[in-house]
Amino acid sequence: MPISRRELLKALAAAGALLPTATLAKPRGRAGHVVIIGGGIGGATAAKYLRLAAPAVRITLIEPGNRFLTCLRSNDVMVGHMKLDDITFTYDALRSRYGIEVIHDRCIGFDPKRKTVQLDRGGKLGYDKLIVSPGIDMIHGDVEGYNREVAESVMPHGWKAGAQTLLLKKQLEAVPAGGTWLMVAPPLPYRCPPGPYERASLVAEWFQRHNPTAKVVILDPKDAFTKDVPFRKAWERLYGYNTPNSMIEWIPAAQGGKVLRVDAAAGIVHAQAGAFRADAINYIPPQRAGTLAFRLGLTNRDGWCPVNRRTFESEVVRDVHVIGDASVADAMPKSGYSANSQAKVAAQAVADMLAGRTPGEPAMINVCYSLVSQDYGISIADIFKVVDNRIIKLPASGVSPITDSPAQPLLEAIYQRNWHRTFANDCFA
């Protein structure tokens, strides 16, 4: 279909690609203009819930990508139970149903005094409130022999879904009969605390079906991990854990699990316990707040963003709210569920502040389901409150009980799959 230059320009302008600086920096509406940077789970949820809380506010979402892949369930993509399409979401509903202006561009800086953000291609954009959801980035170079190039070739982390997930999948499938798949688990704090152990479990399940004499080794700089009690019970039930024929070997810090250096060319990881040769290596490095957080000067000495726990307003820069993995949220884990919950609190706080109201009491939650096999799920569920500017976990909630009921883990596995769809809708649709 032929399209005139004029129509093309109009279409591009509607997509935010060609709006001149003057238009973007136009005076804010009476109800205010909120700019949200980062279209992951936190940013998308914040945009949607801000619209629900503040119908008249102008909302602009800045995100370089035109679709988002959830890390959630990317382990299922690695073992072939889901496709990348199943974990891919667009910004169409945010635009069409919620009237949010989505601009596919990169934020390269801001002026907190003038309250403008600088976009890479689109000039300056004024804001009354800024919400940033920077996510995480990997720390390369903490261990000799490991760097970005190694991460993108022979030792993928698979901690951001997409190309890394497919690389992991390819390497898993290439493990020879009776070979070894090795994971280097990260130190806390990192995104998705149960994620490494779910992944190791699903690799073991894949081996049971496709490569039954192959083994999984986890080198861990920690001595404990979230849900470790039900995880290890499930490993006993499913993968012979704690027997000589165990398919999974977990080497904690106390047994020399800390990695000292890697030899990428030879496929060897040198840990305190000795040298481990493996046919596939999944190196999950230490993490820090996403680069955006550093670019905007929102981080503390530890590389994370300190915030007021009731509103998620930055403790470093006024009128900037930081949500999701990058924020310092005490007892809340760095999870998609936490980011979604924090986004709702921040959106309500921003709506209240713009309307001259004092934000009320926040309420937050985190629920994480992990699969130990396709038919065996375990979960953690916690409710959080803010006391003296600290997020605390209420004592009652917690981890799946270990029971003899075969229905419990099966139902948790079913819940997991159903939950992913509902959750993604709560964020993006």
Residues near another protein (CB under 8 A) are 48-49, 52, 337, 340-341, 344-345, 348, 360-365, 367, 379, 381-383, 394, 396-398, 408, 411-412, 414-415, 418-419, 421-423, 425-426
Smallest distance, another protein to C-beta of residue 347, A: 9
Judged by CB, which is closer to another protein: 245, or 422? 422
Smallest distance, another protein to C-beta of residue 361, A: 4
Judged by CB, which is closer to another protein: 46, or 259? 46
Exposure letters 313-335 (e unless 16+ CB within 10 A, then b): bbebbebbbbbbbbbbbeebbbb
Judged by CB, which is closer to another protein: 49, or 110? 49
Q: Which residues pair with 321 in a beta bridge?
A: 131, 313
**CA–CA distance, 36 with 339 (Å, rounded to integer):** 14
Judged by CB, which is closer to another protein: 209, or 361? 361
Judged by CB, which is closer to another protein: 181, or 369? 369
Smallest distance, another protein to C-beta of residue 257, A: 30
Smallest distance, another protein to C-beta of residue 250, A: 25
Judged by CB, which is closer to another protein: 22, or 396? 396
Smallest distance, another protein to C-beta of residue 66, A: 23
Judged by CB, which is closer to another protein: 158, or 333? 333
Smallest distance, another protein to C-beta of residue 54, A: 13
Smallest distance, another protein to C-beta of residue 88, A: 20
How many CB atoms are closer than 10 A to CB 390? 11
**CA–CA distance, 243 with 248 (Å, rounded to integer):** 10
Judged by CB, which is closer to another protein: 278, or 371? 371
- Residue 60, exposed/middle/buried by CB under 10 A (0-12, 13-18, 19+)? buried
- Residue 412, exposed/middle/buried by CB under 10 A (0-12, 13-18, 19+)? buried
Q: Judge contact between 298 and 318, C-beta under 8 A.
A: no
Smallest distance, another protein to C-beta of residue 89, A: 14
